[in-house]
Amino acid sequence: MANMAQAIRMALHYGEKNLGVTDVFGEDVGAPLGGVFTATQGLETAWNSPLDERGIISAAIGLGLAGDRCVAEIQFADYIFNTIDLLKIAGNTLWASNGQYNVPIVVMTPVGAGIRGSIYHSHSFDAWATRLPGWKVVLPSTPLDAYGLMISAIQDPNPVLFLKPKALMRVRGDELIPGEPADEKELKAMIDAPIGDRSKWKPRWPELSEFAIPIGKGKLVREGTDITVVSYGRTMPLCVKAAEKMGAQGVSVELIDLRSLYPYDWTMIRESVQKTGRVLFVNEDTEVTNFGEHLAYRVTQELFYELMARPKVLAGKNLPGIGLHPHLEEASVPHLEDIEHAMAEVLAEVP
Amino acid sequence: MAGRTSSSRGMSKTDRATVRKAKVLSGASMKRGARVKAGARDRGLTLLPKAKLLEIMDLMVKSRVLEERLIKVYKTGDAFFWIGGPGEEAFGVSLGMHVDKGHGPAHDFLHLHYRCTPTLIAMGMPMIDSLRLIMNRATDPSTGGRNFANHYCFPKWNVVPVSSPIEVQYGMAVGTGLAQRRRRLAGEKSGVSIITGGDAGTAEGDFASCLIWSSRPGAELPMYITVQNNKWGISTSFDAQHGEKHIADRGKAFGIRTSVVNGNDPVEAYLAIEQDLAYIRKTGRPVLTEFMVSRLYGHSSASGANREAGEDCVETFEKRLVDARMIPATHVKELWQKYDDESRAAAEQVRSEPVPTPESVWEHVYVGSENGDWRKF
């Protein structure tokens, strides 16, 4: 089974071979490194850019205006903040031109904590991203979803932010990507660059097929009747574990992997909350003006009289950064016990 | 006013000779109020055919009249805001006359700033479309009533949307330049990515990005990087903020061909643009040219949009042509009157045209007006 870095790499390869991707670029994206998480190793269209985030986003917009298809990378989301106005422009160009110029670009960037990345390799970007009208925003939690969402992002005529949960980049999935060999060692031998001299190395790509996950569609990870938990990205596997532990105690948890943050699958959330009457939103971005707050607001507005408990948002503390020491990181972002406690609180509430 | 100076990298002998000639003759450009003695020969006017000079004159007057009409429209309450380019006609018209117009990377891309009316007029934009823009009508072909005056967008000519944030166009042009370089290397027809912008904006990092990305060794881009130096950034003077003698000098560090041109002299500007674009089309390498221009009505309506001091390139050129007996003074008056009548009639028509509907705010959030309203997810 592929890990997420391999899955993204294979999707980009499929994109450059079949979907017209002309450029995959950013800092250390091309040879020899192929990306700091190896997600762009061996790609024919990958190239290294100057270490200039504004230049990367600007160039991507220009490529999109020219009708070419690119996937640009900001090496860590922590370094995307000086491009905010350019992201605004990419998102408003179609609207400002009254429908005349679209910007069909994909920008991918690793997000979140979990790798002891300290203050500038741990930022989340989902709340910021969902405040960029005109963009679509995805954040997968499994390799297969990463593959399918990247295919959809490339095909989409609008700008798409592909947020990569960096702590999950090395985690293998339990679903095969269509065309990948089942043996992970075989896959590694085919598409992972060797250690050392790579100057003569070329990948042997598997015969991949198109597998697109529609943007805007969530995934019902686990069916349940007592409480709905909605998450995405790095906190998703934690929610799965929490649901399993709660399940052992007789609690039936319905678990939704949102996958797409904008547009999002309201139908799936609504139907689930109407069934359970209780909902917890979990993510690791800072808690004030958090995206989960928008979802909780909507649940409150539209499903108020069907609720058995107040909707709850569990998110990162509203701190200036993620500290390096594990004590600091764990006190800053949700971990397994926090999720269990939050679920217990929602379940304990009596209407 | 600075004459054209240039590094000689990549220039042919013919190029260098022409530049030297233009530089020498640039002394013929006129300051406001200057006159050529009766019978004296204005040698600058010998560098272009008479028909071309008159065409330039016509377009410069048309652009000026339009800009002054836009200001009147603002001052009579028919628009919320004016910003534009009176004072940049000599440069802007000359640029517009050299554009390879069309859609897609085979043609020139235009990444313009908000003083670009002269360029658009020279490219053939009807006056009325500028009025529709400033009067935010649904009929506005650039934005459908969504954006300010001079924030044009014409995909049929690769005029990508002009935006209010200054200098971002310098970075975005790198992307269209990359697309054009790709086609050039493939042996396909490809155009040039042309950028215009002000002197104050060059303080932004995007200007440095443009110089760096356009001149990467072995990956140079076909980009025409121009700066219109009117010596002002809103109320802040160039001299108080810039230690460099010429903005164009910054390109030299990157091996980019650079020059400084009297942008108030349409002949000098026309020839410089012609040579610059020929060089880029031939070599695929970038050029940085700084055009010294005037800002005749201040920054925008925010500063009053009133006439200010400064060399008036339209007035100067008009006098040169009249004094050289290339055009009778009466014809010049008729020209102004003709375009004044056209602009007035256009403004009248636009007043009766439909405005955007409130419901239209959700149109074009996504391609095909795919729903972008979360209430309907």
- Residue A351's pLDDT band, with cuts at 50, 70 and 90, is confident
Give pLDDT tens digits for A21-39: 999 999 999 999 999 999 9
Same domain, A21 and A119: yes
Residues of chain A with Cβ-Cβ distance to B209 below 8 Å are 50, 52, 54-55, 58
Task: State the best of A47, A58, A86, A94 to mutate against chain B, taking most chain B CBs within 10 Å.
Answer: A58
Please check the confidence at residue A211 and state whether its pLDDT lies above 80: yes
Same domain, A224 and A325: yes
Contact call for residues B289 and B276 (beta carbons, < 8 A): yes
What ipTM goes with this model? 0.96
Please check the confidence at residue B283 and state whether its pLDDT lies above 70: yes
| Residue in chain B lying closest to A295 (CA) | B374
Same domain, A122 and A179: yes
What is residue B39's predicted lDDT score, i.e. its pLDDT? Answer: 47
Give pLDDT tens digits for B156-207: 999 999 999 999 999 999 999 999 999 999 999 999 999 999 999 999 999 9
- Residue B11's pLDDT band, with cuts at 50, 70 and 90, is very low
Please check the confidence at residue A262 and state whether its pLDDT lies above 80: yes
Q: How far A98 CA lies from chain B's nearest CA (Å)?
A: 5
Residue A19, domain member (yes or no): yes
| Residue in chain B lying closest to A294 (CA) | B374
Residues of chain B with Cβ-Cβ distance to A22 below 8 Å are 179, 182
pLDDT (mean) for A43-66: 98
CA distances in angstroms from B104 to A63, A66, A96, B226, listed in the order given? 11, 6, 20, 21
B365: nearest CB among A61, A68, A133? A133
Same domain, A162 and A43: yes
Residue A66, domain member (yes or no): yes
Q: Which residues are within 8 A (CB) of A254 and not within 5 positions of it... i.e. 6 or more apart? A: A220, A222, A223, A224, A225, A226, A227, A228, A229, A272, A275, A276
What is residue B218's predicted lDDT score, i.e. its pLDDT? Answer: 97
- Judged by CB atoms closer than 8 Å, whether chains meet at A85 and B109 is answered as no
Distance from C-alpha of B373 to C-alpha of B377, rounded to nearest angstrom: 7
Same domain, A33 and A154: yes
**By percentage, how much of chain B surpasses pLDDT 70?**
89
Pairing verdict, β A227-231 and A253-257: parallel
What is residue A235's predicted lDDT score, i.e. its pLDDT? Answer: 98
Q: How many CA atoms lie within 13 A of A193 on its CB side?
A: 24
Same domain, A149 and A265: no
Please check the confidence at residue B23 and state whether its pLDDT lies above 80: no
A96: nearest CB among B143, B205, B212? B143
Same domain, A251 and A132: no
Q: How far A246 CA lies from chain B's nearest CA (Å)?
A: 31
- Residue A254's pLDDT band, with cuts at 50, 70 and 90, is very high
pLDDT (mean) for A294-304: 98
Same domain, A145 and A182: yes
Give pLDDT tens digits for B71-108: 999 999 999 999 999 999 999 999 999 999 999 999 99
pLDDT (mean) for B287-300: 96
pLDDT (mean) for B233-258: 96
- Judged by CB atoms closer than 8 Å, whether chains meet at A50 and B168 is answered as no
What is residue B41's predicted lDDT score, i.e. its pLDDT? Answer: 84
Q: What is the overall mean pLDDT for chain B? A: 92
Residue A197, domain member (yes or no): no
Please check the confidence at residue B19 and state whether its pLDDT lies above 60: no
pLDDT (mean) for B214-237: 96
> How many CB atoms lie under 10 A from the CB of residue A165?
26
Determine the 3-state secondary structure of B113 from DSSP: coil
Residue B355, domain member (yes or no): yes
pLDDT (mean) for B218-237: 96
Domains contained in chain B, number? 1
Residue B38, domain member (yes or no): no
Same domain, A168 and A284: no
Please check the confidence at residue B27 and state whether its pLDDT lies above 70: no
Q: What is the overall mean pLDDT for chain A? A: 97
What is residue B369's predicted lDDT score, i.e. its pLDDT? Answer: 86
Please check the confidence at residue B272 and state whether its pLDDT lies above 60: yes
Active site residues of A: 121
Same domain, A89 and A22: yes
* CATH code where residue A24 lies: 3.40.50.970
What is residue B32's predicted lDDT score, i.e. its pLDDT? Answer: 38
| Residue range(s) defining the domain that contains residue A95 | 4-191
Of B46, B55, B57, B117, which Cα lies nearest the Cα of B86? Answer: B117
pLDDT (mean) for A117-123: 95
Residues of chain A with Cβ-Cβ distance to B367 below 8 Å are 94, 99, 102, 157-158
What is residue B156's predicted lDDT score, i.e. its pLDDT? Answer: 98
Please check the confidence at residue B24 and state whether its pLDDT lies above 70: no
Give pLDDT tens digits for A162-201: 999 999 999 999 999 999 999 999 999 999 999 999 999 9
| Residue range(s) defining the domain that contains residue B231 | 5-25+47-376
Chain B, residues 286-325, CB within 8 A of chain A, namely none
Residue B42, domain member (yes or no): no
Residue B331, domain member (yes or no): yes
Please check the confidence at residue B29 and state whether its pLDDT lies above 80: no
User: Which of A144, A172, A191 is the endpoint of a domain?
Assistant: A191
What is residue B20's predicted lDDT score, i.e. its pLDDT? Answer: 47
Burial class (CB in 10 A: 0-12, 13-18, 19+), B91: buried
What angle, rounded to 10 degrees, do the helices at A53-65 and B205-214 form? 70
- Distance from CA of residue B336 to its chain's centroid? 21
Phi, psi of A47 (to 5 degrees): -150, 155
A96: nearest CB among B146, B193, B366? B146
pTM as predicted: 0.95
Give pLDDT tens digits for B307-348: 999 999 999 999 999 999 999 999 999 999 999 999 999 999
Residue A207, domain member (yes or no): no
Please check the confidence at residue B33 and state whether its pLDDT lies above 70: no
What is residue B22's predicted lDDT score, i.e. its pLDDT? Answer: 52
What is residue A40's predicted lDDT score, i.e. its pLDDT? Answer: 98
Same domain, A39 and A175: yes
Residue B286, domain member (yes or no): yes
Contact call for residues A274 and A311 (beta carbons, < 8 A): no
- Distance from CA of residue A39 to its chain's centroid? 14
Please check the confidence at residue B2 and state whether its pLDDT lies above 60: no
Residue A214, domain member (yes or no): no
Residue B33, domain member (yes or no): no
Q: How far B354 CA lies from chain A's nearest CA (Å)?
A: 15
- Judged by CB atoms closer than 8 Å, whether chains meet at A58 and B371 is answered as no
**Residue B260 structure tokens:** 């400084």
Contact call for residues B146 and A95 (beta carbons, < 8 A): yes
CA distances in angstroms from B63 to A94, B126, B340, listed in the order given? 28, 10, 11
What angle, rounded to 10 degrees, do the helices at B329-351 and B50-75 form? 40
| Residue in chain A lying closest to B147 (CA) | A96
User: Which of A172, A191, A210 is the endpoint of a domain?
Assistant: A191
* CATH code where residue A307 lies: 3.40.50.920
| Residue in chain B lying closest to A64 (CA) | B175
Distance from C-alpha of B81 to C-alpha of B161, rounded to nearest angstrom: 18
What is residue A189's predicted lDDT score, i.e. its pLDDT? Answer: 97
Distance from C-alpha of B367 to C-alpha of B377, rounded to nearest angstrom: 16
Burial class (CB in 10 A: 0-12, 13-18, 19+), A178: middle
What is residue B8's predicted lDDT score, i.e. its pLDDT? Answer: 41
* CATH code where residue B11 lies: 3.40.50.970
Domains contained in chain A, number? 2
B171: nearest CB among A55, A93, A96? A55
B161: nearest CB among A66, A97, A158? A97
Give pLDDT tens digits for A186-196: 999 999 999 99
Of A114, A117, A158, A121, which Cα lies nearest the Cα of A136? Answer: A158
Residue B36, domain member (yes or no): no
Residues of chain A with Cβ-Cβ distance to B182 below 8 Å are 22, 68
Residue B214, domain member (yes or no): yes
pLDDT (mean) for B257-285: 98
- Residue B10's pLDDT band, with cuts at 50, 70 and 90, is very low
